[in-house]
Amino acid sequence: MSQADIIFIEMCKDILENGYSSEGQKVRPRWEDGTPAHTIKKFGVVNRYDLSKEFPILTLRPINYKAAIDEILWIWQKKSNNVRDLNSHIWDPWADENGSIGKAYGYQLKIKHKYPEGEFDQVDRVLYDLKHNPYSRRIIVNMYNHADLHEMRLYPCAYSMTFNVTGNRLNAILNQRSQDVLVANNWNVVQYAVLVHMFAQVTGLVAGELVHVIADAHIYDRHIPIVKELIRRKPYPAPKLIINPEVKNFYDFKVEDFVLENYQHGEPVKNIPVAV
């Protein structure tokens, strides 16, 4: 059984059994028909994934890991804020007529800052520190820039990463202000697990632990029956992540450099309603 499945099942059970409902409150999200999208939530969920033991992808249902990787490359490698640089259409609802999502996500990562060692954007600063000062406790990326929030089509959900090296293991904490558990939980876990592997490979380290901190972990009202059915399913063993060992430069990674070996999974969950 995949550890990611165990974590997901226990988290969902906890939210459903002990969570707080927003029924009766005024909420921002709406369903397509205009109905308020209420949730049941838990505050301050913390999940830990040991990437040295297995790749944390759900087997209860298939996760389109290629599309997930494409999105993380769009943000962290291309540092783009335009959906025309992305191969999927998941960001289309938040894009303007030119394809821009405003000063969000990739836009923030490409802003350069001055340091004693020179000028770096946030991604290049991580690469520099992991190679030259790996035991620093200051290796942090933050996309929640208050000065630019008014020009973002969507405030960042997964907004910061803290990297920390222990021995030769690269560990990381992903901070997320809000998460739609059914739609996005394992999608984000897969993305940032891959990102840790990428940084580890190009800096001579090995992937260690990914700690996922979610301030508001919620299940939408119309997702509850789907989640209940999903967590009753039979899980499978975790697949093995294979990364092209020839890639030594962070900016050379492509989606096809990542393969999951023996990825067994349950049936797809179709027609999941998405609140916006």
Residue type, 63: I
12 assigned to active site:
no
Residue pLDDT, tens place only, 58-67: 999 999 999 9
Report the topology of domain 3-261: Thymidylate Synthase; Chain A (3.30.572)
pLDDT of 276 reads: 84
Mean pLDDT is lowest, of 46-50, 89-93, 118-122, 150-154, for 89-93
Q: Is 179 annotated as a binding residue?
A: yes
Rounded CA-CA distance 221/181 in Å is 12
Q: Is 275 annotated as a binding residue?
A: yes
Name the H helices within the chain.
3-18, 65-76, 106-109, 122-132, 181-202, 224-230
Q: Domain limits of the chain?
A: 3-261
Task: Find out whether 97 and 224 touch, Cβ atoms under 8 Å.
Answer: no
Q: Is 219 annotated as a binding residue?
A: yes
The region that residue 206 occupies, defined by phi over 0 for left and psi between -120 and 50 for alpha, beta otherwise, is beta
What is the band of 1 on the pLDDT scale with cuts at 50, 70, 90?
confident
Residue pLDDT, tens place only, 211-245: 999 999 999 999 999 999 999 999 999 999 999 99
Catalytic entry in 157, 183, 194, 230? 157
Relative to beta strand 206-220, strand 169-176 is parallel
Task: Find out whether 258 and 194 touch, Cβ atoms under 8 Å.
Answer: yes
What is the band of 176 on the pLDDT scale with cuts at 50, 70, 90?
very high
pTM: 0.96
